């Protein structure tokens, strides 16, 4: 149980100064070969490694990225983390992850926690509650303190920063258009409540596709799921009442519930009902039938977000207080495409 060795201890042991040890380990020409070799050997023997915390304090940077997301038991978010981690690793960064649990307060607490020197920059996706309250003071504050922020997926126009998103509206439009092309006319939408930005955008895309094809936009064909438990019932009711021929769901969970509801009523998918979902995850790949989805490449999204953040950090470092902060923020759009599987004809 020997604690990690420090420069000071090596110095004392070898009867030289701390600076001599430090310089020797960096192979500085200031130090004689003899001394260097002796110190290096000693350090290697005791497996000396510089203390990260001390380095962070000295360099005023931690080489750590803070990630704040609503939840982690969620295929999409897990893939994004995976993407972030890849790029972070490639560039010598670590990631520290905080979960907001869809709570505004936790999001704020976590951000303030990390903002006090623990990290060099944020990558985040807004919690539902934050989007509902539209209170972004914690983010503004972080940015004002010079902490770069990259938002992904659930973003807001109220904050100026780098963002990486998918074109939710267009993707939804394309998915619905595909249904229409196949002859569907009565297309139901199963969505979340409106304050979640992506839900709103996907609804917009759905509506536009209908209108562009001269299909009346019928509010009765839209289910806004507030609470998971009644989702199935609502869909069954719609199937019963309206004789719809397709369902467009904003996530795969809603889609699989729709399929189960259809089965329960003796309808076959895709023969009697086509189903398309947003977010290509595990469920879509393994449900029966497999579900046609809009791909939403989390890995790519995460990689892009991390690349943007690290790019900014490095630029910052290069400028080094030149104060020429070119406040030019970018919004990257990740391509999506429709993955055709067995839930559509």
Partner DNA sequence: TTTCAACACGAAAACGTTTGCGCGACCCTT
Partner DNA sequence: AAGGGTCGCGCAAACGTTTTCGTGTTGAAA
Interface residues toward its own copies, by CB under 8 A: 1-4, 47, 49-54, 56-57, 62, 64, 71-75, 78-79, 81-82, 85, 89, 94-99, 106, 112-118, 141, 144-146, 253, 256, 259-260, 263, 282-283, 286-288, 325
Token pair 């200031």 is found at 30
Judged by beta carbon distances under 5 to 8 A according to partner kind, the member of DNA, its own copies, none in contact with residue 112 is its own copies
Judged by beta carbon distances under 5 to 8 A according to partner kind, the member of DNA, its own copies, none in contact with residue 79 is its own copies
Judged by beta carbon distances under 5 to 8 A according to partner kind, the member of DNA, its own copies, none in contact with residue 32 is DNA
CB of residue 277 vs its own copies: minimum separation in angstroms?
Answer: 12
Nearer to its own copies, 135 or 174 (CB): 135
CB of residue 57 vs its own copies: minimum separation in angstroms?
Answer: 5
Nearer to its own copies, 177 or 290 (CB): 290
Nearer to DNA, 14 or 215 (CB): 14
CB of residue 49 vs its own copies: minimum separation in angstroms?
Answer: 5
Interface contacts to DNA, rule CB under 7 A: 4, 6-8, 15-20, 22-23, 25-26, 30-35, 48-51, 53-55, 57-58, 60
Judged by beta carbon distances under 5 to 8 A according to partner kind, the member of DNA, its own copies, none in contact with residue 140 is none
Q: What is the 3-state secondary structure (H, E, C) of the chain?
A: CCCCCCHHHHHHHHCCCHHHHHHHHCCCCCCCHHHHHHHHHHHHHCCCCCCHHHHHHHHCCCCEEEEEECCCCCHHHHHHHHHHHHHHHHCCCEEEEEECCCCHHHHHHHHHHHHCCCCCEEEECCCHHHHHHCCCHHHHHHHHCCCCEEEECCCCCCCCCEEEEECHHHHHHHHHHHHHHCCCCCEEEEEECCCCHHHHHHHHHHHHHHHHCCCCCCHHHEEEECCHHHHHHHHHHHHHHHCCCEEEECCHHHHHHHHHHHHHCCCCCCCCCEEEEECCCHHHHHCCCCCEEECCCHHHHHHHHHHHHHHHHHHHHHHCCCCCCCCCCCEEEECCCEECCCCCC
CB of residue 319 vs DNA: minimum separation in angstroms?
Answer: 18
Judged by beta carbon distances under 5 to 8 A according to partner kind, the member of DNA, its own copies, none in contact with residue 331 is none
Tokens of 275: 């189903």
Nearer to its own copies, 61 or 186 (CB): 61
CB of residue 50 vs DNA: minimum separation in angstroms?
Answer: 4
Nearer to DNA, 48 or 77 (CB): 48
Judged by beta carbon distances under 5 to 8 A according to partner kind, the member of its own copies, DNA, none in contact with residue 16 is DNA
Question: What is the rounded CA–CA span in Å between residue 317 and residue 57?
Answer: 16
Nearer to its own copies, 209 or 231 (CB): 231
Nearer to its own copies, 79 or 197 (CB): 79
Contact 27, 82 (CB under 8 A): no
């Amino acid at each position: 149980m020997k604690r990690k060795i420090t420069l000071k201890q090596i110095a004392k042991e070898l009867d030289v100064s701390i600076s001599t040890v430090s310089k020797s380990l960096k192979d500085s020409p200031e130090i004689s070969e003899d001394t260097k070799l002796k110190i290096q050997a000693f350090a290697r023997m005791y497996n000396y490694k510089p203390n990260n915390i001390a380095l962070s304090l000295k360099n005023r940077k931690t080489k750590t990225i803070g990630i704040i997301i609503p939840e982690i038991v969620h295929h999409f978010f897990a893939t994004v983390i995976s993407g972030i981690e890849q790029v972070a690793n490639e560039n010598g960064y670590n990631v520290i992850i905080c979960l907001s649990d869809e709570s505004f307060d936790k999001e704020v607490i976590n951000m303030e926690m990390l903002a006090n020197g623990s990290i060099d920059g944020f990558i985040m996706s807004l919690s539902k509650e934050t989007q509902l309250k539209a209170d972004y003071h914690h983010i503004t504050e972080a940015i004002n303190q010079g902490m770069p922020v990259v938002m992904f997926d659930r973003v807001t126009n109220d904050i100026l920063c780098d963002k990486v998103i998918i074109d939710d509206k267009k993707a939804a439009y394309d998915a619905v258009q595909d249904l229409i092309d196949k002859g569907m006319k009565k297309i139901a939408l199963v969505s979340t409540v409106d304050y979640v930005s992506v839900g709103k955008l996907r609804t917009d895309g759905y509506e536009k596709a209908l209108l562009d094809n001269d299909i009346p936009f019928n509010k009765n064909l839209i289910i806004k799921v507030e609470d998971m438990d009644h989702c199935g019932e609502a869909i069954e009711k719609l199937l019963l009442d309206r004789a719809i021929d397709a369902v467009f769901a904003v996530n795969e969970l809603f889609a699989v519930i729709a399929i189960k509801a259809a089965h329960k009523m003796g309808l076959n998918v895709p023969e009697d009902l086509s189903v398309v979902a947003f977010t290509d995850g595990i469920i879509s790949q393994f449900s029966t039938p497999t579900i046609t989805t809009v791909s939403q490449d989390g890995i790519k999204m995460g990689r892009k977000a991390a690349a943007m953040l690290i790019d900014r950090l490095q630029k910052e470092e290069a400028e080094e207080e030149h104060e020429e902060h070119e406040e030019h923020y970018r919004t990257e759009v990740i391509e999506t495409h429709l993955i055709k599987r067995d839930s559509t004809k």
